[in-house]
Amino acid sequence: MVKVMTNSLVESLARERAFQLLDQGSAYEILGPFDRFGSPHLEKQNIVPQFDDGMIIVKGKLNGNDAVVISIEGKFQGGGIGEVSGAKFAGTLEKILKECKKGNRIYPIIIYDTGGVRLQEANYGLLSIAEISAAIVELREYVPVVGIIPGKIGSFGGMSLTAGLCSALIMTREGRLGMNGPEVIQQEAGIRELDSRNNPLIWKMIGGAARKEAGLIDILVEDDVQNFKEAILSVWNGEIEFKNRTKQIDHYLSLYKSCTLEERILPEVARELLATDTEIQDTELPVPTEVVESTGRKWFNLLTNGKPSISEVPSVLVADTTINGIKARVIAVVPNPENIYYRARKGEVGLLEGWTIAKYVQQAIDEDCDAAEKRLIIPIVDVPSQAFGYHEELLGLYLACSAAIDAYATARLAGHPIVTAIVGNAISGAFLSHGMQGNRLIALYDDGVNVHVMSKKSAAIITMRSIEELDEAAKEVPAMAYDIQSFQKLGALYQLLDGVNGKNPNDDDKKVLMDAIIDAYHDIQKHNDRDLSCRLTSEIAKNGGRAASIKVREMIEAQWK
């Protein structure tokens, strides 16, 4: 018997996808193209904007249930997330959360077709993805957050970290799910690490069928709108058991510690490893024979007064200390030249690092669950990027990063003040995983402190520009720049500390940073902050740094009915 496809979701545009999923006649678009709210940053770079900025928000009903579909248009800027599109996404989730808290149950459905952050608006994308992640973690406590990856582009970059946070994921065989796109891995690590033209291998690694077999997604469907509807309803009705993968910390950490990379792990072997539900014996990792005195390690030692790390993974340092009478847990990611994952030897956030961060943040949550005063958590940020490698994508790096984000966001919501200290590089998914969920961000005014989504060389290749052209564009759009002064113009920093020696700090430098951390701690306590809203309410944000982000949220509120 031949089954005739009646209605393809894969072949539809983002707006068509959103309306197709909802009951006929029930749906209306919020902030549609006739509102003419495109990106204010693209024209400055001679790029034609789109009046919906490639993000479609449609509210209506599915099978009589109130629902909102957030659908990303992959044909506009590769589905990349900029300021306006990111604010539409985050602002919609925040509005749904408000309604759920009032007792109005509204189900979010997210359709992913994205390469991640829009490089032409780089740091706006990072801020947006942090806010999207925060909203998903909180919203999951009220309603299931369903993610769909139908196909075409798939889901990559920081947006896959948000996909990893969803209550349930639905894919087709045409969908792909990973952290780093194959082309980016080839650019960063070379063709021997991964040949991006080897499509059969790519599908075996990160395609929908492979991810389902590995147990990393919940439902695999054939491409028909009705199939997607039935899959969504099965999640809502409780027919699908929520795996809570980002909470399975001990399982995944033991798994990745047990791997050996003497020979390349084949996709079929990796799928079998990931799908196992048997208890994995814990493996003790060797103590490195070489210690790299990185910037992050120096600041960790200063802030903890040289306390030994309690972490079982050498590339993640963890210690409890007291700062001005306040109990604190300090966490840093540092280089380990002997890391079994060879693409994560220079301080990158990889498989071990993401899950280890999650373990020790969750440990603080559990230990302080009955405490009147929750421990201050201080992520020390000196991370060059996430790890770019074959094994990282094969084994689900995106989920390791999602787990770290989940732990930090959960800690913040539980009342743990998180003050992030940016002392070195804060790049891409590594920064999203380690630092961006902080209540307050503090940075050193130092030329060694940079914030961005990708190395300048790779960003130039992907945007088809020279490095000189990138630098010129950054003068018009601060979000594209790498330096911390430009990042400050976006309004997300609580303090930018001048006169501190970032690379070789002494006791005087330590005191300056500690005083700033304690000041931020008291500010969090004063305002009882448990979300990231302060990034939109700072004077810099209101006076231009996040003007479009603020306006988008106001328009969502006005058009909601």
Tell the CATH topology of 19-177+217-242: 2-enoyl-CoA Hydratase; Chain A, domain 1 (3.90.226)
The CATH code that applies to domain 249-435+440-528 is 3.90.226.10
- Closest Cα to residue 153, out of 258, 213, 80, 103? 80
Long-range contacts of 134-138 (CB under 8 A, 24+ apart): 134/409, 134/412, 134/437, 134/531, 134/532, 135/90, 135/93, 135/94, 135/97, 136/93, 136/162, 136/165, 136/166, 137/165, 137/405, 137/406, 137/409, 137/410, 137/413, 138/97, 138/409, 138/413, 138/531
Burial class (CB in 10 A: 0-12, 13-18, 19+), 525: middle
Domain ranges in the chain are 19-177+217-242, 249-435+440-528
- What's the CA gap between 417 and 527, in Å, rounded? 11
90: amino acid identity, one letter: A
Total number of residues shown for the chain: 561
pLDDT at 230: 98
The per-residue pLDDT for range 496-515, each reduced to its tens digit, is 999 999 999 999 999 999 99
The answer to whether the beta carbons of residues 349 and 387 sit under 8 Å apart is yes
DSSP string, 507-554: HHHHHHHHHHHHHHHHHHHHHT--SSTHHHHSHHIIIIITHHHHHHHH
Does 19-177+217-242 match 249-435+440-528 in CATH topology? yes
pTM over 0.95: yes
Question: What is the reported pLDDT for 457?
Answer: 77
pLDDT of res. 6? 67
Q: What is the pLDDT along the chain (561 residues), one digit of tens a residue?
A: 455 556 999 999 999 999 999 999 999 999 999 999 999 999 999 999 999 999 999 999 999 999 999 999 999 999 999 999 999 999 999 999 999 999 999 999 999 999 999 999 999 999 999 999 999 999 999 999 999 999 989 999 999 999 999 999 999 999 999 999 999 999 999 999 999 999 999 999 999 999 999 999 999 999 999 999 999 999 999 999 999 999 999 999 999 999 999 899 999 999 999 999 888 888 999 999 999 999 999 999 999 999 999 999 999 999 999 999 999 999 999 999 999 999 999 999 999 999 999 999 999 999 999 999 999 999 999 999 999 999 999 999 999 999 999 999 999 999 999 999 999 999 999 999 999 999 999 999 999 999 998 878 778 888 888 888 888 888 889 999 999 999 999 999 999 999 999 999 999 999 999 999 999 999 999 999 999 999 999 999 999 999 999 999 999 999 999
β partners of residue 380: 332, 421
Distance CA 437, CA 451 (A): 15
- What pLDDT, on the 0 to 100 scale, is given for residue 4? 54
Q: What distance in Å separates the CA atoms of residue 194 and residue 198, rounded to the nearest whole number?
A: 8
